[in-house]
Structure formats: C-alpha cells, structure tokens
A and B are shown apart, each in its own frame.
Chain A
C-alpha cells in the first residue's frame, strides 16, 4: 500500500512536468485526465484502515467523474470546435517551462520538511501538492491558448485538492467537496466563455485578446 501511494504521488509530479513540456493539446488533456484519475484514487489509498469507507468512496467517485471524465470531455469539445491542436508559441518556452517546473519540484521536495505537520502524513504529500500548484500557475501565466490556460487552472486545483487531503482527518467532506464543486463550476463557466471567444474571434488564441491595454 505504501509504495503504491508513493508511486501515485510521483506519477502526479511526472504528469505535471509532462504538461509543462508538451505542446500537443490532445496529449496534455488526456494526461491531465489521467492525473485526475490518480487523484481520485488517492483518498482511497489514504483512508486510515478501519474507518468506514463510504465517504472516501463517494469522494473518489466524485473526483473521478469530474476530473477524469467530465472536464476532459468539455476541453476536447472546446478544441474540436476551435480546430486547434497545438500551442505554438507560449510566453515562456517549453524548455524554460520544464526547467522552472523542475526547479519548483526540487524546492518543494527539499523544503517541505520544514513545515511541521500536525498529524503524520506521507512525506510526499505536501511537496506533490506544492509542485502541482506551481506547475499549474506556470501554465496559466505562460500559455497563450485559452484551453491551455484553463488546463493550467485545472492542474492548480489538482494541487490544492492534494493538499486538502491533509485535512481529511477532521474536516473530511466539506473540504474536498468544496474543491470539486469549485472546479466544476469554474471550468463550466470558462467553457462557456471560451465558446463565446471562439465565436467572436474565430480562434482560441488569447493573443487576439489584446485590444484592451494602457
């Protein structure tokens, strides 16, 4: 069980690095969906033995449904509508993004030991959460295609979700349910706005959204 958990966290971080490196949007969406599936499995893996599994199964199912199925489906529809397949020219290039992401991962893993945890948790949990949040922020800030910006937001929320698992001891449902709902609502609204953007500009390249400036 323990090594499975370790593998899950490492897979999450590897997926972050992959999304930072990849310019193919279809591959990036699929891989983030896979990250959502892994995150869905995490509550089950982290459930302390002897606890009733009901809550955790519900949470895992919710995370799987929203992160693994629903949101990727929305994103695929968006890119099909707009017929885009690749991020051509991000603000921060792919190699620097990867290096920055790697540095973030290294710093997270190096310094997470400093933060005292109230209850013993897996030592990889906090670093994974922080690295994923960092990768998500990098993506939102550095990509030009709207779909990739939303993908970055998704990855950021994934990082926050992992962090919320720390609180599952004493604030179980509210926390995670809140994160899931927030994610769903936000991505839903973003999807609608993206639809409008595509209709208005015939493109999902946010470079075109540059009329407003000082």
Chain B
C-alpha cells in the first residue's frame, strides 16, 4: 500500500508534462506534421528554470507569490486524488469540496498576480477567466454530486474507489452524462479549445495566456508545470470514471489508469484539432449546457 502511494506521488510529479507532450503530438498528427518530441515539455521546463526573471516595478510580492502558491495548491489537490483505484494519500469525508476549492485557489492567485501587474491587458484576461470559471463551477460540483450519489460516499477516495465499478451497473447513463459534462468542464478549466486556444497570442482571443503574460523564467516554469498538473488531475478523474473501474488487481488497475490518462490526452488533442474556438458569447451556452447535462444526471439518480 505504501509502495503504491509512493508510486502514485511519483507519477503525479513526473507524468503531467508528458500529457502535454501527448496533446501536442496528437495535434501535430492531425495537422500532418511530425510534431515536437514527447519529452519536449520537460525540456521547456528545464530551459525556463535556468533562466533569470525580470520583475516589473509596479508589481509587489503578490506577483512573485502567485505562481508558487498556485503550484502548491494544485499539488495539494493532487494529494487528495485517488488514482488507479487505490486510496488517496489524504482522504476524509467532504474532501471533494477542498479539492475543488484548492483548484479555485490556484486560479485566484493567478488572477491576483495578473491584476497586480497593473496592466489592463492582464486585467481583461483575469476578468474573462473568472467569468467562465464561475460558470464552470456548478458543473464541477454537479458532477462530483453525481459521483457522490452513485457511490454513496462523500470522499474522493470513496467516489473513485472500488464502489464505482458497482455503481456503473446501476447508474450507467447518469455516469456517462457526468463524464461527458466533466470532459467539457476539463476543456474549459484547462484553457483548451473550444474555450480558449493555448497557442494563440492575439489580444482579443486570449483568456488564460494573457493572465500569465508578464511571468518569465522560473515563474513561468512553475505556472506551466501547474497547468500540466491540473490537466493531469482532470484526466485522472475521468480515467477512473470511464476506464473499467470494476477491474480488480493492482497491476491491471494501474495499467488501465495510465491508459485512461493517455487516452484523455489524446482525446483533448483530437477535440482541439477537430473544432475551432467558440465565439466568446457562446462559451456560457457551452458551460451552462454542461451544467444542465449533469443536473439531468442527478435527476436520474434521485428517482
């Protein structure tokens, strides 16, 4: 058990940039290019860590603290997550609320750091990001509620644990709807197409990118790594929900979990290649649609 938990922590720390690599490689494949090597994000992080940082005179300690607190909160959220069917490192009843709010805290400090620069540009990005996040929150909570109701458990460890396999037998449609809703929310929270384009640098179209525009060097490395971690966390939850949670046997569970996370990354890449970014007025529709879908899933379970 301890070995397994240690393995999970190691995976949590090491795997996320690989996910980014898989996403980029998938997009390249669809575009007919060869694409960057899978380990490219690691190399980028290494490069950034060795650089120096320049800080604007208008910023304060908030700007410097932002990336650090952000990464810390996301990593702590990772500790709460039960991966691959094994219990989480830290687990207690109601920890899913803490999970959601740790992710929220990360977004909060990033937005604060953006506002701290005193530039209207970052402020605009922060405003957009926070608006869309407020629409995505209900969807996240509704999905977690669906899981809680289906597995009759109030802790992430229980929700994603062995009861999930049994829950699929009785509540399959609801779980399917919740998974779809969570996928849409994952795209929104991680600033992926169709909500936001991670590769764009045009002023009017950036949401997340513009918030972190002023960070450089190690700070940027922390932010990028944190973003990769967040993607991994969502991928872990989705993988656990969708990829045969009923299977027992530690090795099979871990293998399926990894497969699931990689499949999630490929899925994100496919969606990014197949769709264009939505107009910003349509994004509330998308997010409310995801909320309504998961609300419907709960109604199904409440009968």
How many chain-B residues does the 8 Å CB contact rule pick out? Answer: 15
Distance in angstroms from B106 CB to nearest chain A CB is: 27
Residues of chain A touching chain B, judged by Cβ–Cβ distance below 8 Å, are 3, 6-7, 10, 13-14, 17-18, 21, 94-95, 98-99, 101-102, 105-106, 109-110, 113, 123
**B293 near A17 (CB under 8 angstroms)?**
yes
**B172 near A3 (CB under 8 angstroms)?**
yes
Residues of A with C-beta under 8 A to B293: 14, 17
**A17 near B285 (CB under 8 angstroms)?**
no
**A102 near B300 (CB under 8 angstroms)?**
no
By secondary structure, the B interface counts as helix
Q: Which residue of A lies closest to B172 (CB)?
A: A3
Residues of B with C-beta under 8 A to A113: 303
A94 to B300, CA, bound (A): 23
20 A-B Cβ contacts within 8 A? A3-B172, A6-B173, A7-B173, A10-B177, A10-B300, A14-B293, A14-B296, A17-B289, A18-B289, A94-B285, A95-B285, A98-B289, A105-B296, A106-B295, A106-B296, A106-B299, A109-B299, A109-B302, A109-B303, A113-B303
User: For the complex, is B288 an interface residue (Cβ under 8 Å from A)?
Assistant: yes
**B285 near A21 (CB under 8 angstroms)?**
yes
Task: State whether A123 and B285 are in contact (beta carbons under 8 Å apart), knowing that A10-B177, A102-B295, A105-B296 are contacts in the complex.
Answer: no
**B173 near A17 (CB under 8 angstroms)?**
no
A113 to B299, CA, bound (A): 13
Q: Which residue of A lies closest to B286 (CB)?
A: A21
Residues of B with C-beta under 8 A to A123: 303
User: For the complex, is B292 an interface residue (Cβ under 8 Å from A)?
Assistant: yes
Distance in angstroms from A108 CB to nearest chain B CB is: 9
